[in-house]
Amino acid sequence: MSSIEDIATAVRSCTKCGLSGTRTNAVPGEGSDSPSILFIGEGPGANEDQEGRPFVGRSGKLLDELLGVVPLNRSDVYITNVVKCRPPDNRDPLPEEVRACWPYLEAQISLIKPKVIATLGRHAMNRFLRTREYLTSMAVRPCGGISSFSRSTTRLRHFARPL
């Protein structure tokens, strides 16, 4: 796979796990081919499965709002997921589903070469922390939503660490 479009084509035709039989659309990812920031979520939800695009539901609206604070647009970043197909009933992805999709994510990271990877959700974060401890059991304080953020890009930079 030598381009982001090659990866997207492979993802759309993938049958490496059982999720391929329950999906409406695979969701390979979207955005700039050379972004500074790569956002990685857990997996597509119902809206994403219907549209074939990442983060288009309620979470996507929040992400768009947060990007606007910086200010960035979706076209300035790349957005993808650990698993590329929706798990039934929005259950957590199974380990074999994550393993089946992992080569696609590795290829995306290798081609995009982002300066920052921002993980969204515990499955995405746990893949990079390489720990068995779940994010929900760690000492994490919720920020309280967009109203808790100042309009200062300096404050937002503290949430993303360079590679």
Domain containing 32 equals: 4-157
Q: Render each residue's pLDDT in the chain as its tens digit; 163 residues.
A: 799 999 999 999 999 999 999 999 999 999 998 999 999 999 999 999 999 999 998 989 999 999 999 899 999 999 999 999 999 998 999 999 999 999 999 999 999 999 999 999 877 887 777 655 544 444 444 444 433 333 333 333 334 444 4
- Burial grade of 34 (CB within 10 A; 0-12, 13-18, 19 or more): exposed
The verdict on residue 163 lying in a domain is no
CATH for 95: 3.40.470.10
The verdict on residue 93 lying in a domain is yes
Q: Model's pTM, two decimal places?
A: 0.79
